[in-house]
Amino acid sequence: MPVETTITTPLPGGVEPAAVVALLHDHEAYIRTTCPQLISYKRVSGPSSSTTSPAGLGEPVLFEVVDRRPTGQTTYKLTLTNREEGIDSLVDGKAPTGTMAVRTRWRVRGDAGMLEEEIEIDSNMITKKMVKGNIEKGHPEHHRSFLAEAARA
């Protein structure tokens, strides 16, 4: 059974919800913000063969991401799907203890003035607890980075 958590961050005054959604739809910005230990990434499949071509709503785009880890590096698949109010993300990878899937749903709730991220982690018990703790510790900073960038737009 997956473990779930939610992270919400208020939109700063003057930040337009549409600017935050547009930034979430910028897959390069999304990857660079949410993968702070990024070594490299490449687009594997999607609606266009161009790495920089934007995807339409509901069109999944698959990336292969290489990240630094304390024990070296790891490679995993990342699927991003643009949605009207944000983006869905699926990380499909391996941990030392087995397979791991992390699904996130980032939504800009303009009526509530919030950036909301719903997270679902599916793995073994030890990995779930570790990943959840890392997400709850690191993702508020990802939110702040997106909102700061959207404020500059």
Split at pLDDT 50, 70, 90, the class of 114 is very high
Q: Which of 53-57, 79-83, 117-121 has the lowest mean pLDDT?
A: 53-57
pTM exceeds 0.85, yes or no: yes
pLDDT for residue 127: 86
pLDDT for residue 53: 55
pLDDT for residue 42: 95
Residue 136 lies in a domain: yes
How many domains, the chain? 1
Distance between CA atoms of 93 and 102, rounded to whole angstroms? 9
Residue 26 lies in a domain: yes
pLDDT in tens, 27-56: 999 999 999 899 999 999 876 655 555 678
Residue 106 lies in a domain: no
Distance between CA atoms of 41 and 146, rounded to whole angstroms? 19
Residue 128 lies in a domain: yes
Residue 124 lies in a domain: yes
pLDDT for residue 33: 93
DSSP 50: -
| C-alpha torsion angle, residues 38, 44, 50, 52 (rounded to 10) | -30
Domain containing residue 153 = 11-50+77-96+113-153
